[in-house]
Structure formats: C-alpha cells, structure tokens
Amino acid sequence: MEKSKQISILKDLLRMLDNKENVDAGVMYRNPTSAYTCPDLAAKEWQSFFKGHTQLIGLSSDLPKAGSFLTMDDFGVPILATRGKDGQCKAFLNVCRHRGVQVEHEEKGTRSAFSCPFHQWTYSNQGDLIAIPDEHQFGAIDKSCHGLIQLPMEERHGMLWVHPNPKGVLGLDSMLEGLEDELSSWGFEKLVAMGQTTIAKRLNWKLANDTFGETYHFQKLHKNTLGKIAYGDCLNYETIGRNHRFVFPRRNIDTLREKAEADWRLTDGATTLYFLFPNIQFIIGNGAINIVRLYPDPADPNESITKINHFFTKGAIAAAAEIDGHGENVSADTVYESSPNDTGIPSLNGIKEVFNSTIEQEDYVMGETTQRAAETGLLDHVIFGRNEPALHHYHNTFRAALQMPPLEEVGGS
Ligand code: FES
Ligand SMILES: [Fe+2]
C-alpha cells in the first residue's frame, strides 16, 4: 500500500479514537435468516461461488520449490497442484485416468511423480502419464492422451489461483478488482508458510464470514483476547468493487503519536483485512499474514469448514527466534511451536494461538447459536447496524451475484 494511503488511514483511525467516533454507513439493514439455512440458495452458491468459480489454493510458499505439490478438496473438485523444474505451477484434477481414483492423498510434500494407489498408473509432476504397470496385459493406451486433466492456474503476486473447471476462465483481473496493486505491495511471494488450521463448525459459511465484518464485538466478546491488543468500535472501511478493505487500530497505534509521520507504517499500529469475494479474508498484521477461506458443506447449508493458513515474514521468524531464545539457526517449526512471551512482541505461536482460539472458541461459538436460531424458523431476520458496513456490502454483493433483491433497510436510524 502506498505510504500516503497508510498515513491517511492511520490518521483517520487516530482521529476517530480521539473523538470516540466509528465508521457510519448511515443505514441499517435486515438480513433474512433464511440466507443461512436455505438449501436452494446453498445449491446456487455452491455452483456459482465454488465449483464454478476461481479459487485461491494458497500462496507461493505453499509450493516452495521444484517438485513441491499440494492437494485441496474443499470446493467440489479435487485439486493437485505442482511446481515444475522450470518454476512454473500447474494444477490438475486429482483423479486417475484409469478408473478415477484419487491419485495423491497427502496435503503437501515433494514428489517427482505421482503413483495412483489402486493399480499404480504413474504421472509426472507435469501431469504426463509415464507408466502403466503390466501394460501388455492391460492393453495399449496412448499415454500422451491420458495425462492428468489440467486445470487453469496462475501464480500472481504470490497468490496461487485455480479454476476448478478445465474450460473455466480465471478472470483474475475481476477477482482482484481494484486491489491488485495494493495486494501486490504486501510481498506475498516472500512469505513463509507456517501451518494450516481447519475448523469444522455447525454454522453457514456466510455466517462464519460475518464474524470478520465488524469491530463492534471486540471489547465485548473478545475483551480478554483480541480486545487486549486491539481497539474496537473504530474502523476505516472502503468497498472496492465486490471486495473491501477493513482496517482497525491495535493498541500500539498510540506509540505512533510520538513518531514523525514519515516513519509511520500501517502494520505498526493497525491490522488490515482484505475481503476478496466470495470467501477469502487476507489478514495483514505486523510480520504475520493469515488467510482465512470459508467453504460450505455442499450437503448441508448449516455446516461449513474454515481453513486458516498462517504465513510470516522472514524478519518476524528471525525476531521470534531471538526473543524465544532459540538462537539464529532454529528451524521454522521450532519457532512456530515456541511459547508465547510477554516481551511486547508476541511469538509466532502466540499470534497463531490468539488468532485461532479467538475465532474457534469465541466468534464461532456465537455463530453456532445464531445458526440454531435461524434453523428454528422463528427468527425472521437479524439486523446489521450502521457500524457494520462490511456486512451490508458482503451480503448485498452476494445477493446481487445471485440475482436476489438487495437487503431491506430498517426504518429510522
Ligand atoms: S485407478 Fe488409478 S491406477 Fe487404476
Ligand atoms: Fe471476532
């Protein structure tokens, strides 16, 4: 993000803190609870936003070197992605051309070839079929026509994008609408991948996403966790096409008051969330970037999976190693598992723990009870306040994408 933009956002946050102001959309909306339970809507979403929509499958460091691979199966199509000797990434259907068995079962690793567990047809990491055992008994097959089925894939600004349909169009210009320069400025391609957390809960995927849409609850629900390091009820918010930028101050923003503006960096005093429609949150902290992706359960609108991927800058890893007393040459894994400290710079594990437990044990516990209320059919709607503009935008955007009418305003404000 450009320096001038960082300074203007920080100034805006400080001004709001000083004046006890918050973002104000000037309007409240009713959101029908059927949005969280309706099976017909869920079926449309699955096709429009997941099975038939470009997906983020990771960052560059999820495929760190030649021979790296990763698999994913969260959006209806099993994916195998690889990095070749030429450094280029490719994605395939993780499906054997013999009898359709899943070829690779590990989530991540390094292999030069993939051997199907059923009869060991073997594919190169470029997707070519290179061996058929007992071919003289099986029959002659033109191997050149029976490689893994390739899917559209692009690595852009350190992000790995795949379309789950071989004939699909990635359309990254519209996925990244208005945010491409800004996202590229965070250096995703230089981050180190350090773990993934999966949370399965009984709440609709949009309800899970709603927990990332306001700071109104920080000093209430999160008063003993996130609320200790961040200010609530203070938000700099901007919609950018179907996406948005959401910045809230951390308590250390106050230290910037003593510094010259030219030395201010947004990450020194605030956390930035980018929402990329329809299901991705990039959460940019100081040296730590978490990506949260939300996936519905295609069989049940009341269930969802949250995948959280943790990334750190090399500088944060080195600093944590020093603070935690592991010395310079500590492996990334050791640092990651090291205990939190109270020196003012939380260890990487501390960041991860606060992040995951806040979501799983606080936000989603609330969300599960809302889901139950929605399932009773007795609560017609919930209300999105003037201080919750990200919820307005997100719900109206997904509704527009599915040709649904916009949310209804609540009378009076
Ligand atoms: S199904 Fe893969 S080798 Fe037979
Ligand atoms: Fe929260």
For 264-292, how does the pLDDT look when each residue is reduced to its tens digit (9 = 90+)?
999 999 999 999 999 999 999 888 899 99
pLDDT attached to residue 356: 86
What predicted TM-score, i.e. pTM, was given to this entire model? 0.92
- Beta-carbon contacts of 214 under 8 Å, excluding residues fewer than 6 positions away, are 235, 385, 387, 388, 390, 391
Q: Which ligand is nearest to the CA of 148?
A: 1
Does 30 or 333 have the greater pLDDT score? 30
Q: Report how far ligand 2's centroid is from the alpha carbon of 218 (Å).
A: 6
CB of 101 sitting under 6 A from ligand 1: yes
Pocket residue to mutate for ligand 1, from 96, 103, 123, 134, most atoms within 8 A of Cβ: 96
Q: Report how far ligand 2's centroid is from the alpha carbon of 220 (Å).
A: 10
Q: Which ligand is nearest to the CA of 120?
A: 1
SS3 86: coil
pLDDT attached to residue 325: 54
Q: What is the CATH number of domain 55-170?
A: 2.102.10.10
One-letter amino acid of 289: I
CB of 119 sitting under 6 A from ligand 1: yes
**Is a pLDDT exceeding 70 seen at residue 185?**
yes
Q: Report how far ligand 1's centroid is from the alpha carbon of 102 (Å).
A: 8
Q: From the CB of residue 376, how many other CB atoms can be counted at a distance below 10 Å? A: 9
Asked whether the domain spanning 55-170 has the same topology as the one spanning 3-51+176-409, the reply is: no
pLDDT attached to residue 327: 41
pLDDT attached to residue 229: 87
Residue owning the nearest CA to atom 3 of ligand 1: 119
Q: Choose the CATH number for 3-51+176-409 among 3.40.470.10, 3.90.380.10, 3.40.50.1100, 3.30.2290.10.
A: 3.90.380.10
Q: Which ligand is nearest to the CA of 226?
A: 2
Q: Report how far ligand 1's centroid is from the alpha carbon of 165 (Å).
A: 22
**Is a pLDDT exceeding 60 seen at residue 94?**
yes
pLDDT attached to residue 195: 87
Q: Which ligand is nearest to the CA of 214?
A: 2
Residue owning the nearest CA to atom 4 of ligand 1: 119
Of ligand 1's listed atoms, the one at least distance from the Cα of 116 is 2
- Beta-carbon contacts of 143 under 8 Å, excluding residues fewer than 6 positions away, are 128, 129, 130, 132
Give the pLDDT mean for 34-61. Answer: 97
Q: Report how far ligand 2's centroid is from the alpha carbon of 80 (Å).
A: 33
- Model confidence band, residue 334 (pLDDT cutoffs 50, 70, 90): very low
**Is a pLDDT exceeding 80 seen at residue 332?**
no
Q: Which ligand is nearest to the CA of 365?
A: 2
pLDDT attached to residue 319: 78
344: left (phi over 0), alpha (psi -120 to 50) or beta: left
CB of 138 sitting under 6 A from ligand 1: no
Percent of the chain with pLDDT over 90: 84
CB of 141 sitting under 6 A from ligand 1: no
pLDDT attached to residue 357: 85
Of ligand 1's listed atoms, the one at least distance from the Cα of 99 is 1
Q: Report how far ligand 1's centroid is from the alpha carbon of 109 (Å).
A: 21
Of ligand 1's listed atoms, the one at least distance from the Cα of 120 is 3
Does 253 or 357 have the greater pLDDT score? 253
pLDDT in tens, 137-178: 999 999 999 999 999 999 999 999 999 999 999 999 999 988
pLDDT attached to residue 412: 53
CB of 99 sitting under 6 A from ligand 1: yes
Please state which of the ranges 2-6, 49-53, 132-136, 321-325 shows the lowest mean pLDDT. Answer: 321-325
CB of 121 sitting under 6 A from ligand 1: yes
Q: Report how far ligand 1's centroid is from the alpha carbon of 97 (Å).
A: 7
Q: Report how far ligand 1's centroid is from the alpha carbon of 85 (Å).
A: 26
pLDDT in tens, 70-83: 999 999 999 999 99
SS3 293: strand
Does 378 or 318 have the greater pLDDT score? 378
Positive or negative, the Cα torsion across 249, 251, 252, 255?
positive
Give the DSSP letter of residue 178. Answer: T
pLDDT attached to residue 331: 42
d(CA 409, CA 374): 20
Chain mean pLDDT for the chain: 92
d(CA 285, CA 250): 10
Percent of the chain with pLDDT over 70: 93
- Model confidence band, residue 324 (pLDDT cutoffs 50, 70, 90): low
Report the b/e string of 305-329 with b at 16+ CB within 10 A: bbbbbbbbbeebbebbbebbeeeee
Please state which of the ranges 117-131, 182-196, 206-220, 318-332 shows the lowest mean pLDDT. Answer: 318-332
CB of 66 sitting under 6 A from ligand 1: no
Give the residue extent of every domain in the chain. 3-51+176-409, 55-170
